[in-house]
Amino acid sequence: MRHSLRTGFSFGLTSGIITTLGLMVGLHSGTHSKLVVLGGILTIAIADALSDALGIHISEESENKHSAKEIWEATGSTFFSKFIFALTFLIPVLLLELSTAVVVSVIWGLFVLCILSFGIAREQGVSAWRVVTEHLAVALIVIVITHYVGHWIASAFG
């Protein structure tokens, strides 16, 4: 896979996992509303995917070492990977009771993050356990913090 596509894909997928799970967990903890969680997922899939794509676009431009084609490849792969992956979280929310859907989504997201992290480690020739553990730790920190922020918002403003 070309560098520009790999950059956008890995960024979009990682951001799609961590941002969507954080939002889902926080909204669930704060509202317990399936409608609110569904709206949050769709918002992330559209607005945040476009935002991240523009962020990658500007970042790649600022390096001043990529062709216009490479920049647009990174931009497009960021958008599409985040957009498509964020939408996968709709499936459990639409099919399951909300609390179960959030648990299933966390498992799904962490599983995909493990696969991506393992692939990165193998490609770099470094310890897969170290890379996977590092990436999972960040994701779990986001999930725990957003869970408690959701509870705090519900108790302080609900």
Q: What is the mean pLDDT of the chain?
A: 96
Domain that holds residue 129: 3-157
CA neighbor of 144 nearest in space, from 14, 21, 34: 21
- Please state, for a pLDDT cut of 90, what percent of the chain lies above it: 97
> To which residue do tokens 């569904």 refer?
38
Per-residue model confidence as pLDDT tens digits over 49-100: 999 999 999 999 999 999 999 999 999 999 999 999 999 999 999 999 999 9
- The whole-angstrom separation of Cα 12 and Cα 113 is 12
Neighbours of 79 (CB within 10 A): 21
H-assigned helices in the chain? 3-31, 34-43, 49-63, 68-88, 90-95, 98-124, 128-157
Residue 158 has pLDDT above 80, yes or no: no
Instruction: Enumerate residues 6+ apart whose C-beta is below 8 A from 127.
Output: 121
Give the count of domains, the chain.
1
